[in-house]
């Protein structure tokens, strides 16, 4: 399959490389000039899209997605499929879906979960929205880049699933970090707490698969100085998207709102920018109740 891939950052580059490694012809473009292993380089996003059966985008936000789509959609061959793997607001996903549909293209919004580790390993989870036919066309590519793809509904449903998932993740990571910080002050060893909680009712992905305490549980960014697998900046972005969506539909999300406020303080006022989102643990461990 000929694939155009636009956005070769920390997530996009390994995703594109996995597609090329699987034998697909991948032509990529990134505004910053970054490249990916096995991926040919285009001079523009429109050039990457020309003649492609599927065009995949992995971009920072909804405004950039809309801008790129305005360049890419006219360059695409009628009947091709545009797959956006960015995490953006639901409104932007639906606007681009409408643009693509009017141009005779298929569209899938398919944000991912799994971070850079999952992108490199090809174990991402895709949460997809769009027409069934477009999802079916993209499904073989999801199988290469990830371990699971769920068709969640019409256009925008993938973004809805992603922001709901990450609102849970942000809140549970904070709670996990708070528990470790409390355990420290109560004199409970972190390993002992993990041994209990990881097999008890406090079980969660944040505890069991991505433990924020160095040297405890499976290997995680905590064991690498909190170099980001999933940056706190990106968690803040997703939590803000969740609150934007909640406001738009009049949903009461108090825990999501608190998580967004805490990550905003951590990233914008403290030292959280550029660190993994689990670095909330040393932040909390160093603080008192005041």
Q: Which residues are catalytic?
A: 162
Q: What is the DSSP string of 187-223?
A: T--HHHHHHHHTTSTT--HHHHTS-SSTTSSS--GGG
Instruction: Tell me the backbone φ, ψ of residue 111, rounded to 5 degrees.
Output: -65, 160
Q: How far apart are CA 58 and CA 42, in angstroms?
A: 16
User: 151 φ, ψ to 5°?
Assistant: -85, 110
- Which tokens go with 58? 């992995």
Rounded distance between C-alpha atoms, residue 92 and residue 113, angstroms: 19
| Cα gap 30→58, rounded to integer Å | 10
Tokens 């997605």 belong to 65
Q: Where are the beta strands (DSSP E) in 142-191?
A: 146-153
Q: What is the sign, positive or negative, of the torsion defined by CA atoms of 37, 42, 48, 53? A: negative
């Amino acid at each position: 399959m000929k694939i155009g891939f636009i956005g070769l950052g920390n997530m996009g580059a390994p995703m594109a490389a996995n597609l090329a490694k699987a034998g697909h012809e991948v032509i990529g473009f990134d505004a910053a000039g970054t490249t990916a292993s096995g991926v040919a380089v285009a001079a523009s996003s429109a050039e990457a899209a020309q003649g492609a059966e599927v065009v995949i985008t992995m971009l920072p936000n909804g405004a950039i997605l809309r801008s790129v789509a305005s360049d890419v959609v006219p360059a695409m061959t009628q009947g091709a499929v545009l797959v956006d793997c960015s995490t953006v607001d639901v409104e932007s996903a639906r606007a681009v879906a409408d643009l693509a549909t009017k141009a005779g293209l298929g569209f899938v919004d398919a944000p991912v979960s799994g971070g850079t580790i999952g992108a490199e390993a090809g174990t991402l989870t895709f949460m997809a929205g769009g027409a069934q036919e477009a999802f079916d066309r993209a499904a073989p590519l999801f199988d290469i880049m990830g371990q699971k793809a769920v068709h969640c509904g019409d256009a925008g449903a993938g973004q809805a699933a992603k922001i709901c998932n990450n609102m849970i993740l942000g809140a549970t990571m904070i709670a996990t970090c708070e528990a470790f910080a409390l355990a420290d002050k109560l004199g409970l060893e972190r390993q002992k707490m993990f041994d209990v909680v990881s097999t008890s009712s406090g079980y969660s992905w944040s505890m069991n698969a991505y433990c924020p305490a160095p040297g405890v549980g499976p290997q995680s960014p905590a064991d690498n100085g909190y170099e980001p697998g999933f940056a706190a900046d990106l968690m803040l972005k997703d939590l803000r998207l969740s609150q934007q969506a909640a406001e738009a539909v009049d949903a009461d999300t108090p825990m999501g709102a608190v998580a967004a406020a805490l990550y905003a303080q951590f990233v914008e006022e403290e030292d959280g920018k550029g660190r993994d989102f689990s670095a909330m643990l040393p932040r909390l461990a160093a603080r008192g109740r005041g």
